Amino acid sequence: MKGILMKPWKVKATADGIATVTRRLAGLKEINQEPDKWKYRPTANIPRGFFFMSDDGLKRTVHPRYQVDELVYMKEVWAVDRIYDHLKPRDIPIDVRRYFPGDPLLRYGHAGKWRSPLFLPAEFARHFIRIKDVRAERLENPLSVEELMLEGGAEAIPLLMKIDGLWLWRYEYNLVNQEEVVL
């Protein structure tokens, strides 16, 4: 199962049912070197891919990292009990207590070091999403208020401003109940 990195505010906005859209640049580096040069060309004969053509006749087929109906776990900062701090994530027993930002049990001091979200195993994740829609688009700020809310609200503005004018993947998703997830 693939994971997706999200900022803490985005994880919270998703868990609260506010954020249902994320935008990603992965796989579009060549196109974004000269974004004005490229146009998106829809095509039905490229399964799970998107076709771009440049002004000077270059053609590229690009594939988004996540596909429609794919189940993905949200990677976030995490910790386990202090006694497991010496272990690599893959060596930590599956049944240990896990801690995440905002966990009320953090005040008791049992949590160990904070670990990078990059190394959160899917089995330890607390939030899962299912991709509903994927599309290639060129971001043009300002977004509508409705679209900004789908991104999680005003906290998304600084990130969206950094990618203004670039081609990206717009992923729409639903939060999935953890009980429904089979790993």
CATH number at residue 35: 3.10.400
- Give the Cα separation of 152 and 74 in Å (integer): 15
pLDDT at position 107 is 86
User: 155 pLDDT exceeds 90?
Assistant: yes
Q: What is the pLDDT of residues 60-112, one digit of tens each?
A: 889 999 999 999 999 999 999 999 999 999 999 999 999 998 888 888 888 99
- Give the Cα separation of 96 and 90 in Å (integer): 13
**Does some domain include residue 92?**
no
**Does some domain include residue 26?**
yes
Mean pLDDT of the chain: 92
Domain hosting residue 166, numbered range: 3-77+116-180
Pick from 125, 157, 120, 119: which is nearest to 141 by CA? Answer: 157
**Does some domain include residue 70?**
yes
Pick from 29, 27, 32, 31: which is nearest to 58 by CA? Answer: 31
Q: What is the pLDDT of residues 129-142, one digit of tens each?
A: 999 999 999 999 88
**Does some domain include residue 102?**
no
> Given the DSSP bridges, would you call strands 71-75 and 128-138 parallel, antiparallel or unpaired?
antiparallel
User: 182 pLDDT exceeds 90?
Assistant: no
User: 157 pLDDT exceeds 90?
Assistant: yes
pLDDT at position 179 is 83
**Does some domain include residue 89?**
no
**Does some domain include residue 38?**
yes
pLDDT at position 141 is 87
**Does some domain include residue 83?**
no
pLDDT at position 16 is 96
In sequence order, what E strands does 115-180 have? 128-138, 167-176
**Does some domain include residue 82?**
no
* Number of domains, the chain: 1
Mean pLDDT along residues 2-27: 96
pTM comes to 0.90
